[in-house]
Structure 1
Amino acid sequence: MPMSKKALNELAVVLADTHDPSAMRDLLEALLTPRERVRLALRWRLVCLLTSGMHQRSIARQLGISLCNITRGSRELKRRPVFRQKVSQFVRDQ
């Protein structure tokens, strides 16, 4: 297994084992640069808005991002059922 795939699997195990939101935030802040955290948060907001039924053009205006970025988020929601399920569950619970 290539090192990057192995490292990603290891990270997935650590993140999945982190049940405390405060501890998870600490992990994310330690692993990601400030810019990466902003981009990750923006991507999260994007998929939540898509899941809630907001139109892509409205999302683009609200978040100040391109339709290409929104299309990528939409594609990932369609391609990855576990991702879609987790986002949908979060949106429903809000």
Structure 2
Amino acid sequence: MGKKFFGVIAFVAIAAAAGWNYQQNKQEVELSDLALENVEALARGEGSGNCKWRTGHSSATGWIAICDSYGVGYSCTCGDIKYY
């Protein structure tokens, strides 16, 4: 009786774990409002040609040039970074 009982318990545990795993994988992922805004902001920069260079300085990196929509310099590809 002991082996049969433990076999049934093991089967039930495995079936419960498999069912829980199936449910977890079936659920859809919902992005927060902040994540959606970040995706939209990144998509707006692609191929728009509206980005320009801007510069900044920090003690850790020295001078840095960043290409983004806040820049006022020459046109560039959005997202580029140069360290000087």
* The structure with more radius of gyration: 2
Q: Compute the TM-score of the two structures, normalised by the length of structure 1.
A: 0.27
Q: Compute the TM-score of the two structures, normalised by the length of structure 2.
A: 0.30
